[in-house]
Amino acid sequence: MPRKDRPPKGQNPRGGKREGAGRPRGSSGRGAAFKHLRELARSRTEEGLLTIVNIMRTAKDARLRLAAAKAILDRGFGKPR
């Protein structure tokens, strides 16, 4: 005998693929604050890259130099796949 407190077949009580469920398409949830932070970070790009280059050239620890060199290559050519 089926239980009466269950949802109809095809509907998940904890979410899932229901008509109208989830975030609407095209909505990223990122507002003006995100755009402001992105612009602020991009305005410091040159300074950040120069800092990474400085670490690559002057760090005593080889692991730091390698990590800095990898960061520069990833930003210049993209991460390898």
Please state the pTM of the whole predicted model. Answer: 0.56
Domain ranges of the chain: 32-77
Confidence of residue 12 (pLDDT cuts 50, 70, 90): low
- Kindly state the tokens that stand for 25: 């398409």
Residue found under tokens 């400085």: 54
Chain segment 30-81, per-residue pLDDT in tens: 777 888 888 888 899 999 999 999 999 999 999 999 999 999 999 888 887 8
Q: What is the DSSP string of 25-71?
A: TT-----HHHHHHHHHHHHTHHHHHHHHHHHHHH-SSHHHHHHHHHH
